[in-house]
Amino acid sequence: MTADAATRTAAALSIGDRQIELPIVHGSDGDDAIDIGSLRAETGLITLDPGYGNTGACSSAITYLDGEAGVLRYRGYPIEQLAEHSSFLEVAYLLIWGDLPSQSQLDHFVAEVTHHTLIREEMRHFFDSFPADAHPMAVLASGTVGMSTFYPDSQNIFDADAVEVTINRLIAKLPTLAAWSFKKAVGQPYVYPRNDLGYSSNLLHMMFAVPSEDYRVDPTVAEALDLLLILHADHEQNASTSTVRLVGSTHANLYASISAGISALWGPLHGGANEAVIETLEGIVADGGNVQKWVDKAKDPNDTFRLAGFGHRVYKNFDPRAKIIRSAAERVLAATGADDRLFEIAQQLEDVALRDEYFISRKLYPNVDFYSGLIYRAIGFPTNMFTNSFAIGRLPGWIAQWREMMGSKESRLGRPRQVYVGPGARDYVTIEQR
């Protein structure tokens, strides 16, 4: 921001020979905004911004990102430092409660989350009733809203104690729901949580242990999963977070709001991209490994194909999460001994795309999803479980954003307007006369 922009307090808007002033709101870092709250009342006009690329939906003190400089911070802390030093549950606490916890605060939070990991036994039948090939995201979204049936206290969205227990239950139980959706798909017995394990280790245990064998969590793998969850934990007003806020703005309970966020995350333009990346890489290998051919396909204006894992609405330089994930992928592949042809292809693809004028001029760089799928794959996750894991990671961010909205004086029912372009008023025509 220029010094001039930093001191501006109002923007002038001319419409014909009328001029009005709209206040400028200053952020502590990053974008400032023109407050258009009085625009319609004063001018009869609204703004039009499909995809909301220029629209700030709220003020938020949770996550800062600078897409041009490739900066991402949670509550002020750089993602690189959190990735190196923190744990997922500590990051969850930071996002939700606003600051890094003291040791006793962290111990209390971890104990609360750990003691809520079981889901209600009746929910076993819930899993039984889905077809075996159900997509785990569908099961996770349904299971999440389904939990509100067991916890009616979650309706008390203005009761701080009820909200806190709902938060702890959600963070504790989402891995159990996710792992059981996988067990259902592979026809194995559901594995109960083990509260002596850490958060990520417990998820791995519930996914990969079977009653007939001893299963030991590989610490390198658990560490890599924890890292992925940290990198996914929040990303300001993305599609799923905006969904959580919008549903939450109706005063629906937290389970309902989070379930809606999970559904939004499922799409291949959002969290589902990590699944699409692996499908693309597998397609390239099956097609003989001709990377250039697939890059050309992505550039072809007559082909709807896009290179999944490339491009971002906000990052126009590089995605800092992708950098961290790429080196983690190298470590995990080395540790698990996975001979991964897909990793080689991914590196070639990145190389070719980053030297290609099409990608350079459109500022399309690898995003968080480009390498995350390769780590999930090396860990042993089937492709359709990747986005489930993303949802577990994003959960603290959704919760933090929901809490912030519920406590903010500026929040009101989310209800965009439209520019109507349909037919004018016309009289009903009976079916015989049509």
307 counts as binding ligand CMC under rule CB under 6 A: yes
Tell me if residue 340 is catalytic. no
Q: Which two tokens stand for residue 111?
A: 């104990």
**313 in contact with ligand CMC (CB under 6 A):** yes
Among 143, 309, 320, 373, binds ligand CMC (CB under 6 A): 309
Kindly state whether residue 206 participates in binding ligand CMC, applying the rule CB under 6 A. no
Nearer to ligand CMC among residue 198 and residue 271 (C-beta):
271
Using the rule CB under 6 A, is 229 a contact of ligand CMC? no
Closest approach, Cβ 298 to ligand CMC, in A, equals 4
- Kindly state the number of chain residues that form the binding site for ligand CMC, as judged by CB under 6 A: 19
User: H-helix or E-strand containing 90?
Assistant: helix 88-97
Q: Which residues contact 302 (CB under 8 A, 6 or more apart)?
A: none
Q: Measured from the CB of residue 278, what is the shortest distance to ligand CMC in angstroms?
A: 12
Helix (H) / strand (E) element for 10: namely strand 10-15
Residue 312 known to be catalytic: yes
Q: Is the distance from CB of 71 to CB of 82 less than 8 angstroms?
A: no
Tell me the C-alpha distance between 159 and 103, whole Å: 26
CB of 429 to ligand CMC, least distance (A): 40
Q: Which residue, 308, 311, 321, 407, is CA-closest to 361?
A: 311
Assess 271 for contact with ligand CMC (CB under 6 A). yes
266 interacts with ligand CMC by CB under 6 A: no
236 binds ligand CMC (CB under 6 A): no
User: In this chain, which of 234, 236, 275, 369 binds ligand CMC, going by CB under 6 A?
Assistant: 369
HEC letters along 148-188:
HHHCHHHHCCCCHHHHHHHHHHHHHHHHHHHHHHHHHHHCC
Contact residue for ligand CMC among 306, 331, 411, 414 (CB under 6 A): 306
In the complex with ligand CMC, the residue whose CB is nearer, 312 or 323, is: 312
In order, the DSSP letters of 40-66 are HHHHS-----GGGTT------SSEEEE
CB count in 10 Å sphere of residue 215:
12
Neighbour count for residue 102 (Cβ, 10 Å): 9
CA torsion, ordered 69, 74, 80, 81, to nearest 10 deg:
140
Position 320 contacts ligand CMC (CB under 6 A):
no
Q: Select the span of 42-50, 126-134, 159-167, 310-318 touching ligand CMC (CB under 6 A).
A: 310-318
Contact status: 175 vs ligand CMC (CB under 6 A): no
Catalytic residues: 312, 369
In the complex, the residues that contact ligand CMC under the rule CB under 6 A are: 238, 269-271, 273, 298, 306-313, 362, 364, 367-369
